[in-house]
Amino acid sequence: MGWFWGDSKKDDPVKKIDPGLRDYLERETPSQDYVPTPQTQEPPKVEDAPYQASQTTTAESSDPSKPKVPAASLFPDGRYAHIWKTYKPPSDPEETGVRSVERVIEKVKDRKDSVQRAAMENCALEQEEVANCFKTGNWQKQLKARMTMCSEENSKFARCFTTQAKFLQALGYASSFDNDDDKQERVQMHADKLYHQMLDFEKRVEEAKAAGIEPPPITSLFKPKAKSHVEKPEGKSAPLEIAGDEPIPAGFKPSKDLEKLTPHERELEIQVHKANMAQHNAYVEKAAPFIKSQEDARMKRREKATSWLGETLGRWFT
């Protein structure tokens, strides 16, 4: 059927190409046996992404040339990391005040427990005498102890505990917000020393009275060089002798009647009053931010209530 389609060799256009060009095309034409395979890149699996991210983060953090970026930094590339490392965000004033008040309340409770515990330690010998009252001595002494319920030993221990606690308060035991065990131990030992100095003086006074001689002069326990002085408190008929040169402060309310106390015990009551006032002022200063914020909030509520309800009702509601 060549007559129908014609002679394909005769009409071949390649024959009309220049022989040099034909040789070049044959050399550059790829072989028909080579079939290029298209390369497709599969996307990473979803479950592998966190693992790769963690590897990248670990690699970046382990690189010493790249500074670690603080959480509060505004520059993810690590700029000014040494400055942001010490940055502290501003805290809420009200929250800070609440924490201050809670700390003050906890300190008041802890101080009371600490003073009682230290006083009990200083009175360990007196407490042991009470415990051994019913166990030691002959049958007559044990019978007397049962009849009197060891009143002498109990009175001695009660006075030791009460007076030691007052000496600890007067010396500022456990009053600081910063715990310093060495300082507290020195204060505890000093309180025990002052208590026994007071007992020794009372014993010398009794011995002098028994011997019919003049008793030793009264000196201050807190200021050894200060002599005693005489004051007449309000509402008292007779003047009272007080050890030391400390006058009776305004608003002073002793735990017992001053007439029933010794000159050293009167001085101790004054020192406890002064220490408690100083401690109260320190607590108020510590809680001042919270007190001020509460007062400001109350004034704002009063202003709103006054503008709505009037001066009288506004003050009454707030």
Q: Tell which phi-psi region holds residue 78, choosing left (phi > 0), alpha (psi between -120 and 50) or beta.
A: left
Number of domains, the chain: 1
With respect to residue 204, please indicate whether it lies within any of the assigned structural domains: yes
227-267 residue pLDDT tens = 999 988 777 778 899 999 989 988 888 888 889 999 999 99
Q: How far is CA 35 from CA 26, 30, 41, in A?
A: 17, 9, 19
Say which residues have a Cβ less than 8 Å from residue 220's Cβ, sequence separation at least 6: 226, 227, 228, 243, 244, 245, 246, 267
Pairwise CA distance, residues 302 & 308, whole Å? 10
More confident residue, 117 or 41: 117
With respect to residue 180, please indicate whether it lies within any of the assigned structural domains: yes
With respect to residue 75, please indicate whether it lies within any of the assigned structural domains: no
Q: How confident is the model over 64-89, as a mean pLDDT?
A: 69
Pairwise CA distance, residues 203 & 199, whole Å? 6
With respect to residue 46, please indicate whether it lies within any of the assigned structural domains: no
Is 90 exceeded by the pLDDT of residue 197? yes
Q: Hey, what long-range contacts does 148-154 have (CB within 8 A, 24 or more apart)?
A: 153/126, 153/129, 154/130
Q: What burial class does residue 188 get, using C-beta atoms within 10 Å of its C-beta: 0-12 exposed, 13-18 middle, 19+ buried?
A: buried
157: how many CB neighbours lie within 10 A of its CB? Answer: 20
With respect to residue 7, please indicate whether it lies within any of the assigned structural domains: no
Is 90 exceeded by the pLDDT of residue 165? yes
With respect to residue 253, please indicate whether it lies within any of the assigned structural domains: no
Q: What proportion of the chain, given as a percentage, has pLDDT over 90?
A: 33
With respect to residue 175, please indicate whether it lies within any of the assigned structural domains: yes
With respect to residue 196, please indicate whether it lies within any of the assigned structural domains: yes
Residue 108 is predicted with a pLDDT of 76
Q: How confident is the model over 283-303, as a mean pLDDT?
A: 73
200 — pLDDT class (breaks 50, 70, 90): very high
Provide the residue range defining the domain that includes 276: 96-232+239-246+259-288
More confident residue, 238 or 36: 238
Q: Which of 157-166, 176-185, 216-225 has the lowest mean pLDDT?
A: 176-185
Q: How confident is the model over 215-222, as a mean pLDDT?
A: 94
